[in-house]
Chain A
Amino acid sequence: MRDITKVRNIGISAHIDSGKTTLTERILFYTQRIHAIHEVRGKDGVGAKMDSMELERERGITICSAATYCDWKDHAINIIDTPGHVDFTIEVERALRVLDGAVLILCSVGGVQSQSITVNRQMTRYRVPRVAFINKCDRTGANPDKVIKQLREKLGLNAVPIQVPMGLEGDMQGLIDLVRMKAVYFDGENGDKIREEEIPAQYQEECDLKREEMLDAVSMFSDELMEAVLEGTPTEEMIMAAIRKGTLDLEFTPVMMGTAYKNKGVQLLLDAVVSYLPCPTDVENFALDLDHEEAEVKVSNISSDPLLALAFKLEDGRYGQLTYVRTYQGTLKKGDSIVNVRTGKKAKVGRLVRMHSDDMEEIDEAGSGDIVALFGIDCASGDTFTSGSDYNFSMTSMHVPEPVISLSITPVDNKAQDNMSKALNRFTKEDPTFKTYVDQETLETIISGMGELHLDVYVERMKREYKAEVTVGAPQVAYRETITQRADFNYTHKKQTGGSGQFGRVAGYVEPLEEGEYEFVDQIVGGSVPREYIPSCDKGFQKCLDKGALIGAHVTGVRCAINDGASHAVDSSDIAFQLAAMGGFKEAYLKAKPVIMEPIMKVAVEGPTEFQGSIMGSLNQRRGMIIGTNEEDAYTVIEAEVPLSEMFGYSTDLRSLTQGKAEFTMEFATYRQVPKSVAEELIVKAQKSKKQ
């Protein structure tokens, strides 16, 4: 088994179009996993290796985080390619859970854009140490210094360059390594021949200055280095150890630069990944003890301990379901039996493979901290595997956000119908934020998710991967209803039409519930409602929650209590009490002043200052509540909370308003009551569609 300290699980995370996939492609080339370089939107039609899904290749974006593996200088590196769009946050967040470190890629022209801010925030939340790589230094307008300043100001990172570029834009020749004080050139057609030389005279002064700055910053993390710097004798090892310490503590971010497209700087980045990013034992990971109310327990990372592994991604491969897992402790061996903690089911490890995007390599065992893939294991993403049922730990307390937007889809023919259900079945397993159900009234299939693009991508995937042509309805916002005050009910359900009758009376109240969706309270004393019918009442109430009386939206935040009732020796039954509870709920519901709630999105628009006025106007028009603005030199970020229903088509509007210079990100924030005028409109609309 491999030495765990020589394993690196890293993610490559960045803004769309900062060249993430191109960089990954180069890494695979230099580590000799692939033998030819294909461009992302290449003319050769092969596409980059990591963008294995057809759709991704076409759009030039990475949607699913495929994991891939490579070797570099005696170290094993598992790369998880993370998606860059916020609509796929669950993918990003899940990927962040399994990585130990990350490379933050920035475009030397675009700099830190809003997407990077979101990703950076997520990384800080999961305490992922990172190194920064300023890519595309060959582009016109490249300015690494500006990007470093933005890293400090916008992302709050202690970003310090450890390299100096020799020339920028078209005439970039190579890089100067400030740790070793050497000029590095990348020769050969693919930049694979590294040539080290003395620093050219014209860069000497700049390098001395930058090195001093770097030493100042990193000597904070090592007393030994501090002393050595004072005496003027810092060694390479000391500096590297200090950079590593600062990086692991998340207090220092070494910045590298280069251009993946022109094959410069990638090998040095790999060196940095090996030298500065943590191995699995350097980071603390926590499991949740399910026997003790999900208390956090540190995982040991020892290969001989009981197994603890997280399935973080599923893929429908050519040979059945492929499950990507990361082991946190213990060893995953071929032939072992493992237990899925969520379902309690036992499974046998059949084939164990190391993934390289599309290709794979069979292995016999995987030690703690490794990332591998399993075949033929039935599970959902986010499931935890352990070595035995007495070892009851889970890696995630899978809190999944509720979907905020939905679409109806209708298959065009019978064949598409079959394929569609196959596809939906797969997608719901892969992505917990993607849900699907059949609307009982319209008999349409509804899919719901976290944003417009999120659903778009799945519809596209259905077409491409499953050949399921569907027609798509207009997107619908997931409204909700809730009550605002307590109301009592006392309802008798009676039916006497031949045969045995139905009788049940329930009395009680409904009231707003501060937290949670629904609660049932049984306050019956003296058996006025027989014990066996109390669950029937609960069932009856829950049936009412599906469709509220106002606009037929899901009802949440309700506590239903029963405190009295009556029954009949012969005529009372389960169904009678269910109907009585439903009647009671309906009676009380309108008295409890129900209101409509709508999803509110946190929107951040970033654009040049001159458009600030029109951006604000556009948000205001959309019932947005502007929280504030952040002024930077030429850029303004405007943050606002806007109802999702008003955000449809915003990207087009924003583009035309700002000549395409502004962009926005959107995240679900909360549910809030809709204003009266809008509520009335919704109610009228709901009534109309009911009549039809």
Chain B
Amino acid sequence: MLKQELIEKNPIRHLKGESDAQESSRMGLVMARAGVGKTALLVQIAMDSLLNDKQVVHVSVGQSLDKTKLWYDDMFKDIAESCKLDKAGEIHDTIMRNRMIITFNESAFSLAKLEERLHDLVQQNVIKPKCMVVDGFDFGKTDRAVLVGMREMAKTMDLQIWFSAVCDEGTDNLGAAAAPAPCTGMEDLFNTVVLLQPVPKSDCLDLKVLKGSAAVSKCGKLLKLDPRTFMIREDCK
């Protein structure tokens, strides 16, 4: 399989806007219960940008650098194997050059610090990210102002930001476009909100689009993903 095909099968294609113009300065949110695969989906989102030769900053709160790096390595290996990707080693090396991981201790994370760090990186020409994924951000302890600040940052830095959030139990029945707790009331700040759910007694995952441009997806508001590679399953397309 070629790199191009890989790009097309990435679920994120269906979540991001259709044109590149729309892509920047957006905010997205991935929600799921603990252990379903938020980080994996975020990595997949980052991977999509990387495969398109765009630079990515991965912000991880509370996880170590090695662990985060492992996510990428494992994910790439799984994808490369299951899709029989040509020249996997070469592609891996080049895309990893475009990725930068910043990890924060839970106590050390703040918007101001992150912003400073990003400015530093851009100024020193280390990286100029088009996409940033933020894993482990504690929505329960954040107020709206921080997220508004993030949005501001997305705009000034011409950046697309994706967050992950752990949602509480019993969120299966939802009203239209309402994000489950702890993000209820914040949906207006995001362009896209998706909910990741395991499908009982099957080996795939449901990706429910709660808010955003899901119309581009052929399957409407529901995508089925392979839980290993987080690629869209062929049989559901």
**A residues whose Cβ falls under 8 Å from a Cβ of B:** 153, 156, 612-613, 616-617, 620, 625-633, 637, 639, 672
Interchain CB contact under 8 A, B101 and A631 = no
In the complex, the 6 A-B pairs of residues with the closest C-beta atoms, listed nearest first: A628-B101, A630-B103, A631-B104, A628-B65, A631-B108, A613-B120
Q: Does B197 contact A (CB under 8 A)?
A: no
Q: Does B36 contact A (CB under 8 A)?
A: no
Task: Note all chain A residues with C-beta closer than 8 A to B123.
Answer: 613
Question: With A and B bound together, what is the CA distance between A9 and B117 in angstroms?
Answer: 46
Given A617-B124, A672-B93, is A629 in contact with B117 using a C-beta cutoff of 8 Å?
yes
Candidates B101, B113, B117; contact of A627 at CB < 8 Å:
B101
30 A-B pairs (CB sep. < 8 Å):
A156-B64, A612-B117, A612-B120, A613-B120, A616-B121, A616-B126, A620-B125, A625-B96, A626-B126, A626-B127, A627-B100, A628-B65, A628-B68, A628-B69, A628-B100, A628-B101, A629-B65, A629-B101, A629-B102, A629-B103, A630-B103, A630-B104, A630-B105, A631-B102, A631-B103, A631-B108, A631-B117, A632-B105, A633-B107, A639-B65
Question: With A and B bound together, what is the CA distance between A627 and B66 in angstroms?
Answer: 9
Given A620-B126, A631-B113, is A153 in contact with B102 using a C-beta cutoff of 8 Å?
no
Task: Note all chain B residues with C-beta closer than 8 A to A628.
Answer: 58, 65, 68-69, 100-103
Interchain CB contact under 8 A, A631 and B124 = no
Task: Note all chain A residues with C-beta closer than 8 A to B101.
Answer: 627-629
Q: Report the tally of A-B residue pairs with Cβ distances under 8 A.
A: 62
Question: With A and B bound together, what is the CA distance between A344 and B23 in angstroms?
Answer: 68
Interchain CB contact under 8 A, A616 and B104 = no
Q: Does B97 contact A (CB under 8 A)?
A: yes
Of chain A, the residue at the smallest CB distance from B121 is A616
Interface residues of B in 108-124 (CB under 8 A from A): 108-109, 113, 117, 120-121, 123-124
A618 CB to closest chain B CB, in angstroms? 11
Provide the B53-69 mask, 1 if CB < 8 A to any CB of A, else 0. Answer: 00000100000110011
Given A631-B105, A631-B108, A633-B107, is A620 in contact with B124 using a C-beta cutoff of 8 Å?
yes
Question: With A and B bound together, what is the CA distance between A628 and B135 in angstroms?
Answer: 14
Question: With A and B bound together, what is the CA distance between A626 and B104 in angstroms?
Answer: 16
**Of A613, A616, A631, A632, most B-chain CB atoms within 10 Å:** A631
Of chain B, the residue at the smallest CB distance from A613 is B120
B205 CB to closest chain A CB, in angstroms? 27
Interchain CB contact under 8 A, B100 and A626 = yes
Question: With A and B bound together, what is the CA distance between A626 and B117 in angstroms?
Answer: 14
A370 CB to closest chain B CB, in angstroms? 37
Of chain A, the residue at the smallest CB distance from B90 is A673
Task: Note all chain B residues with C-beta closer than 8 A to A156.
Answer: 64
Question: With A and B bound together, what is the CA distance between A439 and B68 in angstroms?
Answer: 44
Task: Note all chain B residues with C-beta closer than 8 A to A625.
Answer: 96-97
Task: Note all chain A residues with C-beta closer than 8 A to B104.
Answer: 630-631
Of chain B, the residue at the smallest CB distance from A641 is B96
Task: Note all chain B residues with C-beta closer than 8 A to A672.
Answer: 93
Task: Note all chain A residues with C-beta closer than 8 A to B109.
Answer: 631
Chain B interface residue count, CB cutoff 8 Å, equals 26
B217 CB to closest chain A CB, in angstroms? 33
Question: With A and B bound together, what is the CA distance between A415 and B127 in angstroms?
Answer: 56
Known: A616-B120, A633-B105; 13 extra A-B contacts, CB below 8 A, are A153-B105, A156-B64, A612-B120, A616-B124, A616-B126, A617-B126, A620-B124, A620-B126, A627-B69, A628-B100, A630-B65, A631-B102, A633-B108
Task: Note all chain B residues with C-beta closer than 8 A to A637.
Answer: 65
Of chain B, the residue at the smallest CB distance from A616 is B126
Of chain B, the residue at the smallest CB distance from A156 is B64
Of chain B, the residue at the smallest CB distance from A672 is B93
Task: Note all chain B residues with C-beta closer than 8 A to A153.
Answer: 105
B95 CB to closest chain A CB, in angstroms? 12
Question: With A and B bound together, what is the CA distance between A153 and B108 in angstroms?
Answer: 11
Task: Note all chain B residues with C-beta closer than 8 A to A616.
Answer: 120-121, 124, 126
Task: Note all chain B residues with C-beta closer than 8 A to A617.
Answer: 124, 126
A599 CB to closest chain B CB, in angstroms? 16
Task: Note all chain A residues with C-beta closer than 8 A to B105.
Answer: 153, 630-633
Provide the B67-105 mask, 1 if CB < 8 A to any CB of A, else 0. Answer: 011000000000000000000000001001100111111
Candidates A612, A626, A627, A632; contact of B108 at CB < 8 Å:
A632
B59 CB to closest chain A CB, in angstroms? 10
B172 CB to closest chain A CB, in angstroms? 35
Question: With A and B bound together, what is the CA distance between A156 and B105 in angstroms?
Answer: 12
A291 CB to closest chain B CB, in angstroms? 34
Task: Note all chain A residues with C-beta closer than 8 A to B96.
Answer: 625, 627
Of chain A, the residue at the smallest CB distance from B60 is A628
Task: Note all chain A residues with C-beta closer than 8 A to B58.
Answer: 628
Question: With A and B bound together, what is the CA distance between A49 and B75 in angstroms?
Answer: 52
Question: With A and B bound together, what is the CA distance between A624 and B104 in angstroms?
Answer: 22
Question: With A and B bound together, what is the CA distance between A612 and B118 in angstroms?
Answer: 12
Question: With A and B bound together, what is the CA distance between A620 and B120 in angstroms?
Answer: 14
A515 CB to closest chain B CB, in angstroms? 13
B183 CB to closest chain A CB, in angstroms? 25
Question: With A and B bound together, what is the CA distance between A617 and B121 in angstroms?
Answer: 10
Interchain CB contact under 8 A, B65 and A627 = yes
B167 CB to closest chain A CB, in angstroms? 27
Provide the B191-222 mask, 1 if CB < 8 A to any CB of A, else 0. Answer: 00000000000000000000000000000000
Task: Note all chain A residues with C-beta closer than 8 A to B97.
Answer: 625
Question: With A and B bound together, what is the CA distance between A628 and B70 in angstroms?
Answer: 12
Question: With A and B bound together, what is the CA distance between A639 and B65 in angstroms?
Answer: 8
Of chain B, the residue at the smallest CB distance from A620 is B126
Of chain B, the residue at the smallest CB distance from A673 is B93
**Of B100, B108, B117, B123, most A-chain CB atoms within 10 Å:** B108
Task: Note all chain B residues with C-beta closer than 8 A to A620.
Answer: 124-126
Task: Note all chain A residues with C-beta closer than 8 A to B127.
Answer: 626
Of chain A, the residue at the smallest CB distance from B62 is A153
Of chain B, the residue at the smallest CB distance from A619 is B126
Interchain CB contact under 8 A, B126 and A630 = no
A208 CB to closest chain B CB, in angstroms? 26
B98 CB to closest chain A CB, in angstroms? 10
Of chain A, the residue at the smallest CB distance from B108 is A631
Task: Note all chain A residues with C-beta closer than 8 A to B121.
Answer: 616
Task: Note all chain A residues with C-beta closer than 8 A to B113.
Answer: 631
Task: Note all chain A residues with C-beta closer than 8 A to B120.
Answer: 612-613, 616
Question: With A and B bound together, what is the CA distance between A672 and B65 in angstroms?
Answer: 21
Question: With A and B bound together, what is the CA distance between A637 and B68 in angstroms?
Answer: 15
Of chain B, the residue at the smallest CB distance from A636 is B117
Question: With A and B bound together, what is the CA distance between A32 and B124 in angstroms?
Answer: 58
Question: With A and B bound together, what is the CA distance between A629 and B65 in angstroms?
Answer: 7
Question: With A and B bound together, what is the CA distance between A672 and B96 in angstroms?
Answer: 14
